Amino acid sequence: MSRALAATVALVAIAATATPAEAGKKPGYRNHVYVRPAMGVNSFTPEDGDTVSIMSVGGVAGINYWETGRQLPRIRGNARVSGDYVVGASDLSGYQVRVGNFTGPLWETVGFTIGPDFFYSQYQYGDTELPAAGGVGIPFTVDAYLDAFSVFGGIEPAWYLMGDRPGRDWSTAEGAPGFGHEFAYFAGVGMKVGGLNIGGSVRHTMTAYGEQNSFGLSASFDGEIGGKKGKGKKGKKGR
């Protein structure tokens, strides 16, 4: 696992330095800053018990950035902070905060990103408690763009670095495969209308306590720091 991750990061670094400049253009970077409120539904299915569904509210703030003036592939990325809070009764509660930065190459309309996603979370689903734990995930995301539409999908293994939450035992667990202390599959779609970005996503997370499905919707206006407003430049909008 560690060797594969190191090799992927090395490939991203090589692509960032090896791509030559376009004729008559000066290499540089541009960016979009965004603040995006979000809401969704979380459903949790414990190892033994009934599925519990509750609403969540939260938001994301960050910067999409990308190279200009270079031949393809171009490096782009997304640095962001996110959080959500579960809205429910006393036995249905929880929160999560995440800080991450994801970078990778883009070939015109298709690319991928990878990077660290640090998190801290705690949840109570009826009789099932997921104790407070902090850790790091390594999401690998493939995305594609067509005019004002975008789609993405990927996987995220994660490891706990603090707290008393046990990891999932993959030798006895049923369902989809994975590795790490927890593992997630995710996908989403985005649409840009003028300066408005609308996104929808789904995430399936497998833990030692059971499986969690999250469905979210978000919308935002964005702008640019230190320059003119971009024209629908490519960077993940939905996650």
pLDDT digits (tens, 9 = 90+) for 18-64: 566 665 567 788 998 888 898 999 889 988 878 888 899 999 999 99
How far is Cα 214 from Cα 44, in angstroms, rounded to an integer? 9
Furthest CA-CA distance within the chain? 64
Q: What's the pLDDT at 195? A: 72
Q: What are the residue ranges spanned by the domains of the chain?
A: 2-223
Q: Which CATH class is domain 2-223?
A: mainly beta
Q: What is the pLDDT of residue 19?
A: 67
Strand 110-114 and strand 128-137: the pairing is: unpaired
CA atoms within a 13 Å half-sphere pointing along the CA-CB vector of 135? 22
**Contact 67/99 with Cβ under 8 angstroms?**
no
Q: Is the pLDDT of residue 7 over 90?
A: no
pTM of the model: 0.83
Local confidence band at 231 (pLDDT 50, 70, 90 cut-offs): very low
DSSP state of 174: -
| Dist. CA 170–CA 179, nearest whole Å | 7
